[in-house]
Amino acid sequence: MNITSKLLREKFLGFFCERGHAVIQSASLIPENDPSVLFTTAGMHPLIPYLLGQRHPAGRRLTDVQKCVRTGDIEEVGDDSHLTFFEMLGNWSLGDYFNHESIAWSYEFLTSPKYLGLDPNRLSVTVFAGDDDAPRDDDSAKVWESCGIPKQRIYYLPKKNNWWIAGTTGPCGPDTEIFWDTGKPACSDHCDPGCDCGKYLEIWNNVFMQYNRQADGTYLPLQQKNVDTGMGLERTVCVLNGMKSVYDIDLFQGALAKIQQLSGKKYNSDDKITRAMRIIADHVRTATFLLGDPVGVTPSNVDQGYVLRRLIRRAVRMANTLDMPKGSIAQLAAVYIEVYGDVYPELQQNAEKIADELNKEEERFSKTLVAGEKEFFKVIAHIPGKVVPGGTAFKLYDTFGFPVEMTVELAAENGYTVDVEGFKQKFAEHQAKSHAGSEQRFKGGMAEGGGIETTHLHTATHLLQAALRRVLGDEVKQKGSNITPERLRFDFSFSRPMTPDEIAETQRLVNEAIERKLPIICEEMPIEDARKTGAIGLFGDRYGEVVKVYTMGDFSKEICGGPHAQNTGELGHFVITKEQSSSAGVRRIKAELHK
């Protein structure tokens, strides 16, 4: 079968629409008020409040195509299957149907000639083997048998294989995973879908979300049983077209052609060249989506901006190895904007910003490389022997932004080796202290089920934004937030540092609204009606055509989907602890609530 990415999106959404699911829009790549992750790594993140029991405005059956970013396997990018950005096709039951319907529909969509028409003889599935926390999932295995999957292709695997949770706490449960037999020979007599030899490729994951994992490691039943499925668009298109690599699918063809044109080198002519081209294609695509996101990320040394900077600089370094001219990264971004513009119009809307930020970061990195090389030669002049210590390599990386790969290359050119293991140890120590670059960043927050502290702090962000707009003007718009049980962090558009008087007045206005004990009223209405009432909300589109509007007296009216207090008087005393720059044109406030 020859199927494009566009056709797969349409088939998937159409299939579930026919079965009573409402289509909802992709949420931002930057999670709203979820401190457990830097990026939206799965379709469930924007839906956590509804998985925990809140009513979704669009109903109990949903389907979507969610933009996702995962960087945990960044070093694997360049092989046949790993990507940092991907699209996740998903369907959801919020306390409606469960595993019987979910499995039957998955099998029908995959194997029916009307839909994908895959050979059922090349499908294998895994189910949860059971442990002290949850029983063996014999029920799902029986459903698979009734669909036609024989027992010998149904594998029981442990929690590390067949249990889904987005972070360390929150909604979770056993899953059943669907694998495609690629036709590669088995690596051993015990080769099964849990093996990473490449014979089996996972294409769909159906999670039967029944538990809420607590911070102490215990599992409590959710008030409703949910279904959360995820099918990777890129991998599925690869499978459907009988391709060897996800980089062979339609979405990458324009970018790879551009890379070949700019570099004068041929894709698939050499393993090293092919890997470099794939890394460039992947990282520029991810950077394009992060820069073009409605919330917006710009390169920096912390949080999402740190990861973005790393992706751009790695792409630039690879482009240098292929002798690509300056400005090539922005040219590749333009290709992706053209490819995805009709599906994700925010890329076209932010095209100028995307090109500008990529060019600026490429220029910064060029200077970094010059400074790093200068420091490298200064350092090795004083090294006894021919091994660059791991600590020295880390200093070049941490202080000068000099990639360890570049240190290794320069060292080899000059007759040295690098203690890479020592570098990794220093880097791990750095990560343990700062958590920079890690997706699993914070404890607590919305992913833990919206505890009372995080609920109050989330509510306070509404008051804070309203106060900032009164003090600084309507140019203030939320650019992201992050909440732990101890504090809130709120990013907003503003072109200069706030004065001490402005900070004090903002804090006073928030506390005045708290002292007035304003009732917090939630109403559901069409998004256009919400806008007509004057409600603000950067994240409105993520909830579909019907949205929740939270009104706090005459002080704040916002479109939102998070948990809220019932009255502002519950919040306590609001204290701004810091006001600082987050990135170009974006300020950041950190604040706490004191009882």
Q: Residue 381: inside a domain, yes or no?
A: yes
CATH number of residue 576's parent domain: 3.30.980.10
The verdict on 181 and 303 lying in the same domain is: no
The verdict on 206 and 329 lying in the same domain is: no
The verdict on 158 and 231 lying in the same domain is: yes
The confidence score (pLDDT) of residue 35 equals 61
Which uninterrupted H or E stretch holds 125? strand 123-128
Over the stretch 217-238, which tens digit does the pLDDT of each residue have?
A: 899 999 899 999 999 999 999 9
The verdict on 81 and 220 lying in the same domain is: yes
Q: In the 8-state DSSP scheme, what is residue 54? A: P
- Which amino acid belongs to residue 139? D
CATH number of residue 213's parent domain: 3.30.930.10
Q: 387 - beta bridge partners?
A: 417
Q: Residue 443: inside a domain, yes or no?
A: no
State how far the Cα of 435 lies from the Cα of 439, in Å rounded to an integer: 8
- 3-state SS of 345-386? CHHHHCHHHHHHHHHHHHHHHHHHHHHHHHHHHHHHCCCCCC
Give the gyration radius of the chain's Cα atoms.
25
Cα(first)–Cα(last) distance of the chain, in Å?
A: 62
Q: Alpha-carbon torsion 25, 31, 32, 34, what sign?
A: positive
What contacts 243, CB < 8 A, 6 or more positions away? 237, 249
Segments in the chain below pLDDT 50: 434-450, 539-543
The confidence score (pLDDT) of residue 539 equals 45
Cα angle for residues 472, 473, 474 (degrees, 5° grid): 140
Query: Tokens representing 257?
Result: 């052609």
Q: 588 - beta bridge partners?
A: 491, 580
CA 224 to chain centre: 25
156 to each of 140, 226, 573, how far by Cα in Å?
Answer: 11, 21, 52
Q: Residue 412: inside a domain, yes or no?
A: yes
Q: Residue 166: inside a domain, yes or no?
A: yes
Q: Residue 444: inside a domain, yes or no?
A: no
Q: Residue 258: inside a domain, yes or no?
A: yes
The verdict on 583 and 511 lying in the same domain is: yes
The verdict on 12 and 107 lying in the same domain is: yes
- 3-state SS of 128-179? ECCCCCCCCCHHHHHHHHHHCCCHHHEEEECCCCCEEECCCCEEEEEEEEEE
Q: Residue 435: inside a domain, yes or no?
A: no
The verdict on 226 and 272 lying in the same domain is: no
Query: Tokens representing 593?
Result: 């609530």
The confidence score (pLDDT) of residue 531 equals 82
Q: Are strands 586-594 and 478-483 parallel, antiparallel or unpaired?
A: unpaired
Total domains present in the chain? 4
Q: What is the pTM of this model?
A: 0.74
Instruction: Please say which residue of 195, 229, 244 terminates a domain.
Output: 244
State how far the Cα of 454 lies from the Cα of 99, in Å rounded to an integer: 32
The verdict on 238 and 264 lying in the same domain is: no
The confidence score (pLDDT) of residue 523 equals 85
Contact 173, 208 (CB under 8 A): yes
The confidence score (pLDDT) of residue 6 equals 95
Which uninterrupted H or E stretch holds 588? strand 586-594
Query: Tokens representing 278?
Result: 């794939």
Contact 564, 550 (CB under 8 A): yes
The verdict on 265 and 205 lying in the same domain is: no
- Which amino acid belongs to residue 107? Y
Instruction: Please say which residue of 244, 277, 299 terminates a domain.
Output: 244
Range of the domain at 305: 249-370
Q: Residue 437: inside a domain, yes or no?
A: no
- Alpha helices by DSSP H, 179-302: 233-240, 250-263, 271-292
State how far the Cα of 300 lies from the Cα of 196, in Å rounded to an integer: 35
The confidence score (pLDDT) of residue 44 equals 83
The verdict on 127 and 229 lying in the same domain is: yes
The count of residues in the chain is 595
Query: Tokens representing 207?
Result: 């999670």
The verdict on 263 and 237 lying in the same domain is: no
Instruction: Please say which residue of 190, 211, 244 terminates a domain.
Output: 244
The verdict on 183 and 276 lying in the same domain is: no
